[in-house]
Structure 1
């Protein structure tokens, strides 16, 4: 199957999946209103096989040290899969599955699978990383750019994290945790009960971002959009909190966005 855009519809919701543009969600319309910032680098892209920044682009796996390209100098950011073309595995009513085989510069062989399931009031994004070869550390996350404004008041964010990762001058967690602080943010928060963030566009729409994962990065330093990013570990987590992908145990994660009209 080609990697042309895929359109999923359910009720008055419409999702565009872009296998050829990094396997991202190019758009999410509810009742004709576009919720995601438009542009080839925006929408919602998968962060895999790592999330956020890796310090100096280097991570250790046992005795080996691997260097990733510094695409956000002096660090490497957001994985490699958003730069590749994904293959379409299947498309059904309100559902699509796409895959991506990890290649250089990532030093290990593995396959990433993304599933998109749309219902009239929710979008569920699932992702897995599997290997049939050597084990390796990895992370999974999603980086949606929600439009700050849908034509009325700016969006409001509501969430109650247990802690905030202290951020150093290099934008990476220092390893210390603090009480959650007021924004603006480019920060990682811990939610041990699972990610639960509500975005409210007053008088228009409420959207809940939920995940069983315990980490969320909130980025709202840009005027056009706010980002709420569920992920399987903190930034630089390949070094500080690695999750191993093994032939017996893939790394799997999911997030569900649920919305309602106000």
Structure 2
């Protein structure tokens, strides 16, 4: 049964049965989340805002190399593992706006993911964490689908403070190199210097603040834009240049703050 969090300016709807994903976010009466219309996009990953845990993005061939062992993860049509194990199953409610999921095989270290939604004055805070009592590499992230157009007004404008871009090879996966950004449209990971901003001119401005500098931007579809914070770039497990200097972050937060224009 959906869970609804509501205030004067914000209404958030969460579906525990579908990865505890955010299925609707109304800011001052405007729905900002979308469902992808492209039939080539898997419906399991094509709407709302869902958690990616214990890995975010793709892992090449679905093979995780850790400690001298190979672990085979489930793959999608392109032959790679995609977006973790938390978005395709039901989560348990553990309190107002908080949810929990135990994850084990095929991931090598059993653990618990926790997802919490908290209303803000003009938006929403989302927190996702992964705890497996080890220092095993992991990555977590959040995958929102935003509308290009709201119920009125012009198409969204995306403002990005790009520092570097993760280079992709001919297979679409990272090479491990950081390069200067190309022009869009993108399905790429970037290191940003400040919060990305989505502006629907004359209607609403949405600022996305997160604990991570890594963001995947997917703006190729005609009717949606994805702006996804991740603790590490896709396939970082096999690319030392894309890995954190210290321990792998085991949590992420994202705040979505709206402002009427």
- Using the size of structure 2 for normalisation, the TM-score is 0.90
233-242 or 19-28: which moved more?
Answer: 233-242
CA offsets 1:139-162 (integer angstroms, 9 cap, x no match)? 110100001111321101001111
Change (3 A) 1:216 1:12: same
Q: Which runs of 5+ in 2 are unaligned?
A: 37-42
Q: Partner of 1:53 in structure 2?
A: 58
Aligned-residue offset at 1:252: 1.7
Q: Which runs of 5+ in 1 are unaligned?
A: none
Aligned-residue offset at 1:135: 4.3
Q: Partner of 2:143 in structure 1?
A: 143
Q: Partner of 1:119 in structure 2?
A: 120
CA offsets 1:100-130 (integer angstroms, 9 cap, x no match)? 1003332321000011111231211111111
Q: Partner of 2:15 in structure 1?
A: 18
Change (3 A) 1:28 1:252: same
Aligned-residue offset at 1:210: 1.2
Question: Does the alignment pair 1:176 with 2:173?
Answer: no
CA offsets 1:53-97 (integer angstroms, 9 cap, x no match)? 101111111111111111242211111100111000001xxxx11
The 8 Å contact of residues 100 and 112 in structure 2, kept in 1 or not, is answered as yes
Change (3 A) 1:243 1:138: farther
Alignment partner of 1:42: what SS?
A: coil
The 8 Å contact of residues 11 and 119 in structure 1, kept in 2 or not, is answered as no
- Using the size of structure 1 for normalisation, the TM-score is 0.89
Moved over 4 A (4+): 241-244
Question: Does the alignment pair 1:202 with 2:201?
Answer: yes
Q: Partner of 2:4 in structure 1?
A: 7
* Separation (CA, whole Å) in 1 of partners of 2:164 and 2:30: 34
Q: CA RMSD in A?
A: 2.1
* Separation (CA, whole Å) in 2 of partners of 1:135 and 1:183: 36
Alignment partner of 1:259: what SS?
A: strand
Q: How does 1:1-262 map to 2 (within 5 A)?
A: 4-38=1-35, 41-91=46-96, 96-132=97-133, 134-150=134-150, 151-191=152-192, 193=193, 196-240=195-239, 241=242, 251-262=250-261
Alignment partner of 1:137: what SS?
A: coil
Aligned-residue offset at 1:212: 2.2
